Amino acid sequence: MRLEALCRAIGVSPREGSDNIEIRSIETDSRKVRKGSLFVCIRGLHTDSHSCIPEAIGNGASCILVQEGAQISEALRQQTLLLECESTRRAVACLYHAWYGFPGERLKLIGVTGTNGKTSVTHMLRHILESAFFRCGLIGTVGCESGGRRLSSTADDPLANMTTPDPSTLYRILGEMVADGVEYVLMEVSSHALALEKLAPLRFTRAVFTNLTPEHLDFHLTMEAYAEAKARLFAASERSIVCTDSPYAQRMLCAAGGNALTCSSEGGRADYTATLLRQSLREGVHYRLDSARASLRMLCPIPGRFSMVNSMLASVTAMDLGLRPAGVKAAVASIPGVKGRMERVPLGVEADFTVLIDYAHTPDALENLLRTARELCQGEARIILLFGCGGDRDKGKRPAMGRIASLYADLVILTSDNSRSEDPDAIIAEILSGMDPTGKRCVIPDRRQAILHAVSHARAGDVVLLAGKGHEEYEITRGERRCFSEREIVKEALIERQRGKVDRQDAPRASKDGCGDASQGKESDPNE
């Protein structure tokens, strides 16, 4: 692609005589630069690739794009064609968009943002649209799909798990979706992607706001900055659908410039309101969706009040796009489960308890999960919660999640969850600092052993919640990513249980921590 066309995409004038230079690749990693590359220097969170300009030149870069004000020696300026722009982060998104043929201009993009619910809303909306025979693409935490075809979305960092891919991957994926004949793209939009301008050249057909609760404060530092990042999506959308149950909804509505529909599940004044009728683990959630346009009795097969909210947002978006209310109602009733979101694990006919896997990894999500489980429990059934907190992430939420676990679970099993470079025991100690010392809990740092223990000690009617990993099929510890399937481990535990390797009737009486044989779990010291 000619340099002139790329410069036009970012509003930079090429130097005289350089406009016909043929660019063979766009790179942000100097190690990947080859002859004919355009190297874009990025000031990252930990490193500044302006320092890698000599390596890029040595590898054959035809042009270097730098941030205005960057200190570049005169010697380096003489060695290469150097261009400047106001924001290289914004520029790299625009460059990749141009490189892949401006795919965003040929797709109807629907962005969903918020702390929790993004994956569920995008999957639900995709199901509704596909039920009306629209060809859809999906971009998000669980992965990327184009018309049902799985797309590669692997990040440069194998340990990263990004909701919204980096520009080099994102715009390639959008280009593939155009080639596949996709009409609507349902995209989970993270606050990181917005703050780092990954989506700078895109204009969204619809933007959806779920909620905003404390998360990613290690990156944003304040809730105000977090909300400000989220609001950028609504400023870049033709129309918005906003859940007003969140105190930050007004900020999103302001960014939307008044061109928005409002929704509420808490009795607030809104264009659409949802009222819970009844719910169960087996049937899902029944509710009434009211608006000036229609009054619908809805069924979402996924249980929980948050499923009511998520399906409400998906339904309202679909109707705003022109789908008939009756068709939307029918589609919602046939929504399949979303992997790792209130996912019920098949236990076989012999099991008399329930195991649910959920991605809940924030205080708000964990509280909603536990409240829902409590509403669905019957009689003397217990809630057994197994969870941990991720390493190298916001530490402030750890004691908060411990406090919530103490409040709502009958038994808490603390374990690891992607400890990354941190000591798992240190993370667990921080969770313990927020817990009620009189509550029933035990510590089993090895997550596999913790799951085996939870399943083997479940009683009739109990609900076992495996929280935090959700769709993830891996565990990250000490810089290593290894395969880890909670579903397979549950199956293994069931086989052991059914073969009599764990005899619940003859098991030792529950100890002070409520975990049975204390030798299987380390009794916690709240002052540890």
Average pLDDT of span 309-336: 97
Q: Where are the beta strands (DSSP E) in 388-526?
A: 411-414, 441-443, 463-467, 474-477, 480-483
Residue 152: per-residue pLDDT: 81
pTM over 0.85: no
- Please answer whether residues 191 and 226 qualify as being in contact, where contact means their C-beta atoms are separated by less than 8 angstroms: yes
Among candidate residues 348, 294, 330, 393, the one with its CA nearest the CA of residue 498: 348
**Residue 121 and residue 221 in one domain:** yes
Q: How many distinct structural domains can be found in the chain?
A: 3
Domain end among 98, 131, 150? 98
**Residue 84 and residue 108 in one domain:** no
525 within a domain of the structure (yes/no): no
Q: Which two tokens stand for residue 336?
A: 């399949």
- For the stretch 471-502, pLDDT in tens is 898 899 988 899 999 999 999 999 888 887 44
State whether the Cα torsion 231-195-162-248 is positive or negative.
negative
Residue 47: per-residue pLDDT: 86
Residue 220: per-residue pLDDT: 82
**Residue 281 and residue 265 in one domain:** yes
Question: Residue 210's domain is classified under what CATH number?
Answer: 3.40.1190.10
- For the stretch 6-42, pLDDT in tens is 999 999 988 877 878 999 999 999 999 999 999 999 9
516 within a domain of the structure (yes/no): no
Is the pLDDT confidence value at 231 over 90?
Answer: yes
Domain end among 333, 362, 385? 333
Radius of gyration, alpha carbons of the chain: 25
505 within a domain of the structure (yes/no): no
503 within a domain of the structure (yes/no): no
- For the stretch 94-143, pLDDT in tens is 999 999 999 999 999 999 999 999 999 999 999 999 999 999 999 998 88
**Residue 88 and residue 110 in one domain:** no
The Cβ of residue 6 has, within 10 Å, a number of other Cβ atoms equal to: 25
513 within a domain of the structure (yes/no): no
Question: Residue 391's domain is classified under what CATH number?
Answer: 3.90.190.20
Residue where the block lists tokens 């919640």: 465
**pLDDT category of residue 215 using cuts at 50, 70 and 90:** confident
**Residue 218 and residue 79 in one domain:** no
**Residue 10 and residue 159 in one domain:** no
- For the stretch 364-392, pLDDT in tens is 899 999 999 998 888 889 999 999 999 99
Contacts for 163 with CB less than 8 Å, ≥ 6 apart: 118, 140, 141, 188, 189, 190, 192, 193
Residue 515: per-residue pLDDT: 58
**Residue 398 and residue 458 in one domain:** yes
**Residue 269 and residue 285 in one domain:** yes
Give the three-state DSSP class for 63.
Answer: strand
**Residue 201 and residue 151 in one domain:** yes
**Residue 66 and residue 160 in one domain:** no
- C-alpha 448 chain-centroid distance: 23
Domain end among 63, 98, 133? 98
Residue 195: per-residue pLDDT: 94
**Angular region, 17: left φ>0, alpha ψ -120 to 50, beta rest:** left
d(CA 129, CA 194): 26
86 within a domain of the structure (yes/no): yes
**Residue 329 and residue 359 in one domain:** no
Question: Residue 8's domain is classified under what CATH number?
Answer: 3.40.1390.10
**Residue 169 and residue 82 in one domain:** no
Structural domain range at position 434: 343-498
Q: Which two tokens stand for residue 194?
A: 């917005």
d(CA 113, CA 248): 12
- pLDDT higher for 143 or 217? 143
Tell me how long the chain is.
528
Average pLDDT of span 189-207: 96
